[in-house]
Structure 1
Amino acid sequence: MIQLLTPTYWKDYELIDCGDFEKLERFGNVILIRPEPQAVWSKALSNAEWQKLHHIKFKGRSATSGEWIKKNPAMPDRWHIEYKNPEASIKFRLALTSFKHLGIFPEQAVNWDYITQNIKKFKTPEPKVLNLFAYTGGASLIAQAAGADTTHVDSIKQVVTWANENQEISGLTNIRWVVEDALKFVKRELKRGKKYNGIILDPPAYGHGPNGEKWKLEDNINEMMGDVMQLLDPDEHFLILNTYSLGFSSVIIENLIKSAYPQVQNLETGELYLQATSGPKLPLGVFGKFFKY
């Protein structure tokens, strides 16, 4: 069955409204306007309400970069927020980057809840979890906070450094940080005979490894899934595959997983979205996930 899922425990995040290719969001006490290519419908709130509510707005110079316009120039460029579910809590350092991102994807909180729930149900003491394409580490942090032995892999050194900062402000330790091409790392772990109880993948549509390796989702994901399935502990495991690509549907994700792992149990697929307070649902990627224990 295809599911639609949205986060339920976010107190420090709120999607206030979205439409006309923009979104109005609250991160902690800071309200921002950012571009959103998926929001092709009209805003529910008036432009006057948007202008009154927001503190900072992103103004694009090109398709990939821009600048932040602050109502109050004294507002900081960095601040902290917290995520807490019934099993664990983590903190993030947010920052106004030139490419409109802040260092967090709020819709991923649905997957963080799935990670904590599964880790808590495992009989394995300190289960091993692998987070690939791990960005600033939300999934790594929540896995570690829930009691896992966590490995975090991303190809960009600055992003891994940012994730390490998030570990520190979350009061966590001992996440294993790896700056490497994800596919190369997986193949090396296979040669070593490694097994993981949990694997999380959130691959980009396009990307590059630290040594110029090229990643293109539709070209590489099938090979990646075939390799990753061999790393799963056969008796006790979970896996999450999340993609944000306009060309990928949850049916494609289902086919990928079943092709790479025919014996899959408890498979769920669907679409992640953020529920705006004003009414609209903002779609933000498709997922497939399963567990066994």
Structure 2
Amino acid sequence: MAETSTAPILMISEPRSDYALVDSGLGRKLERYGEFHFIRPEPQAMWAPAKDDWQADGEFIPASDEDGGGRWHLNANVPEEGWQMDWEEVSFTAQCTPFRHLAYFPDMDPVWRWFRGNLQDLESPQMMNLFGYTGVGTLALSAAGANLVHVDASKKSVTAARDNAALSGMTERPIRWIIDDAAKFAAREVRRERRYDAILMDPPKYGRGPDGEIWRLEEHLAGLVEDCGKLLDGDSRCMFLTVYAVRMSALALGSLLNEKLSHLGGTIEVGELAVREEARGLLLPTAIFARWSA
């Protein structure tokens, strides 16, 4: 039986030379991505900003709730094809995407470091990254010696991930790049009786697979977690689940992991990811998580 800790844990992304949450407030945030500064909506920044004279190279202006979407307003000096950034040994291309992201989630920094700590004494641990996006996390763990299976339903995202591997000089690393529906792939891995030392899951609230499959977090997450639990065994080390932009509690995620991973023993913990603001040290919450470790 897994031991569940209900005391929330904070995993904080600190300001770095390549990225910083510079300031935040009144429903917006000012961030530095490499040499560029951007303003994006941030509903959780309910306080007043430290300064009111933000200077940025671009801003994402959301549309109305009825219309959804939105668009970037960028200065001419922001390269449309993106610009290079680095995370430890990993180089990657940051870019203003139509979904208001910049092809990289800096709040995952402490998550990747947590995996490195859990796997550091294993030789070539086997790891799966579901919903792997542009591959920064995959490459961060591969650089630390893990063998990776990177899964994402978006061909564009997997292409970007492979390009980032080339930019990092990591094309020869043992990484399988899979374009597939994450839930279907995990189910097939169960039927193939595969096992992993570690699994990272970063699912969206809603998504589509390459063949039109529909992903709805509230409907499909439990089945995916159950399958991932079957891919772990008594020698496995850890699993991490993050959830963004939903009305859900970290305690609910912890209870789900407790049900599906109870056969593994170990410890289940819950908490929040947050980014520390550079201006005042305020913590801006970004996601909830639940994690299991042996």
> Scaled by the length of structure 1, what TM-score is found?
0.91
Counterpart of 2:95? 95
Contact 1:264 1:290 in 2 (8 A): no
* Counterpart among 76, 83, 87 of residue 87 in structure 2: 83
Q: What SS is found at the alignment partner of 1:203?
A: coil
TM-aligned CA deviation for residue 9 of structure 1: 7.2
TM-aligned CA deviation for residue 281 of structure 1: 1.7
CA distance in 1, matches of 2:191, 2:228: 12
Counterpart of 1:159? 157
Question: 1:235-280: CA deviations, max 9, x gaps?
Answer: 1321111111331211011101101011431322100011111233
Q: Single out whichever of 4-13 and 198-207 deviates more from structure 2.
A: 4-13
Amino acid at match of 2:74: I
Structure having greater relative contact order (Cα 8 Å, sep ≥ 6) = 2
Question: 1:172-207: CA deviations, max 9, x gaps?
Answer: 124211111001001111111100111000011111
TM-aligned CA deviation for residue 2 of structure 1: 0.9
Percent identical among aligned pairs is 34
Counterpart of 1:10? 16
CA RMSD of aligned residues (A): 1.5
TM-aligned CA deviation for residue 60 of structure 1: 3.3
CA distance in 1, matches of 2:213, 2:35: 39
Q: What SS is found at the alignment partner of 1:82?
A: strand
Counterpart of 1:34? 40
TM-aligned CA deviation for residue 131 of structure 1: 0.4
CA distance in 2, matches of 1:206, 1:6: 26
Contact 2:152 2:182 in 1 (8 A): yes
Counterpart of 1:281? 283
CA distance in 1, matches of 2:108, 2:216: 21
Counterpart of 1:140? 138
1:269 aligns with 2:270: yes
Contact 2:116 2:144 in 1 (8 A): yes
Counterpart of 2:293? 291
Contact 1:202 1:243 in 2 (8 A): yes
Contact 1:115 1:142 in 2 (8 A): no
Amino acid at match of 2:186: V
1:193-212 equivalences under 5 Å are 193-212=193-212
Amino acid at match of 1:291: S
Contact 2:11 2:111 in 1 (8 A): no
CA distance in 2, matches of 1:132, 1:116: 17
Counterpart of 1:223? 223
Contact 1:59 1:69 in 2 (8 A): no
Amino acid at match of 1:129: M
CA distance in 2, matches of 1:93, 1:60: 24
Q: Which runs of 4+ in 1 moved over 3 A?
A: none
Q: What SS is found at the alignment partner of 1:272?
A: strand
> Runs of 5+ in structure 1 lacking a partner?
none
1:184-199 equivalences under 5 Å are 184-199=184-199
